[in-house]
Structure 1
């Protein structure tokens, strides 16, 4: 499809769509902000301990998040960020303690921080996302969540929207089924398959570059990019066929 930005009258014809597959963090809930804080605290504390003249130990920033971490499975994000700084660590194992200085230990350390913030502060879904979910439920479009996060069920429950989705493909499901994470299309393809809908009849909704690339690689009918900070042009360049700033813009008759 040609790329376009939402304008009055350009919302998708949802009644012709077989299914809609949503990313979670940054699309349905503002938990991306919680993730960003947790990643920043974890990486900056770790960088302060690195004693390697060849490594770049300058401060971890939001730019690092968007370039190396956003939308990816947790351990992939750790691995990619460390590589960008010239830091090598043992891989470790998924059950490493959070104080282990391994790729998976750092990932587990970040996960603890995220869960602490989620339990303390809770999370509310984006109002515009709820409007779109309401519209899709009204016309009977099957829905799925496809998230790299292993915390997706807990986030959906905390946000009060877990019952909206017939299928959830999260980080745990991907690990169990041996599915490569975004930007590979496999988790989105698995979501469509579990809903019984061909990818060519399904729509992907994403805010991360890795997720948009995953949708673009999967022969989906549409890949909708939601700009929560990455940038409209960046989403387009990586395969979004339609871009918006809030999902309320995608509701017929809603704000443009």
Structure 2
């Protein structure tokens, strides 16, 4: 193993509830119909904006419609983040990222978030300490949504590595399947919104953690060459 690919939302930051609340507000305002928890898992978590919004509106959307609707929802989400005094990276993440840097293990992010949110994270969470925007894979309007392997295959390419030499950290079922289809070397499930026993049933998952203070990560780091 030579590199690491991180999902972002629900993996490096525990923000799933904020996304759900923002979606509920947005969708209730435009359709009058709230979203069920099962629909969140199936159509929202880990999916890009086009996939989710076309499910919401039950029709194909233009590029501009997706961009406009997504920004309305994401503005609600960002306000929830800023209003939360505990808005921060998941416990242990800063130390783990710094350790990867010290050991010169390459890593980046492959996320369904759009550029506006990514800029927000870089500013409010000071991600530039560890990441460069040029290497991050994000939804630019053309992303093929997880569970397709494309996001993680592109992430590996940004590291100049095959996916078979990368470890993937992911929280959402769609993302776990994306990593599996990309034939990642190992898949680490992060249990921020799902139970550990649920995540370990997904194909390819070799480890499940609640946060990045898990001592099992020390053994994982020692497996890098």
- Structure 1 length normalisation: TM-score? 0.74
User: Is 1:230 matched up with 2:188?
Assistant: no
Distance 1:246 1:169 in 2: 23
SS in structure 1 opposite 2:108?
A: strand
User: Is 1:210 matched up with 2:178?
Assistant: no
1:132 is aligned to 96
Contact 1:29 1:159 (8 Å CA) reproduced: no
SS in structure 2 opposite 1:26?
A: coil
Distance 1:157 1:181 in 2: 25
Aligned counterpart in structure 2 of residue 180 of structure 1, from 133, 138, 144? 144
Distance 1:105 1:238 in 2: 34
Contact 1:226 1:246 (8 Å CA) reproduced: yes
How far did residue 120 of structure 1 move? 5.0
Deviation string 1:7-29 (CA, Å, 9 cap, x unpaired) is xxxxxxxxxx3110001111112
1:171 is aligned to 139
1:88 is aligned to 58
SS in structure 2 opposite 1:149?
A: strand
Contact 1:142 1:165 (8 Å CA) reproduced: no
Runs of 5+ in structure 1 lacking a partner? Answer: 1-16, 49-56, 97-102
Distance 1:69 1:181 in 2: 11
How far did residue 66 of structure 1 move? 2.1
- Structure 2 length normalisation: TM-score? 0.83
2:223 is aligned to none
Aligned counterpart in structure 1 of residue 53 of structure 2, from 71, 78, 86? 78
2:162 is aligned to 198
Distance 1:238 1:77 in 2: 22
How far did residue 104 of structure 1 move? 6.1
Runs of 5+ in structure 2 lacking a partner? Answer: 220-225
1:12 is aligned to none
SS in structure 1 opposite 2:104?
A: coil
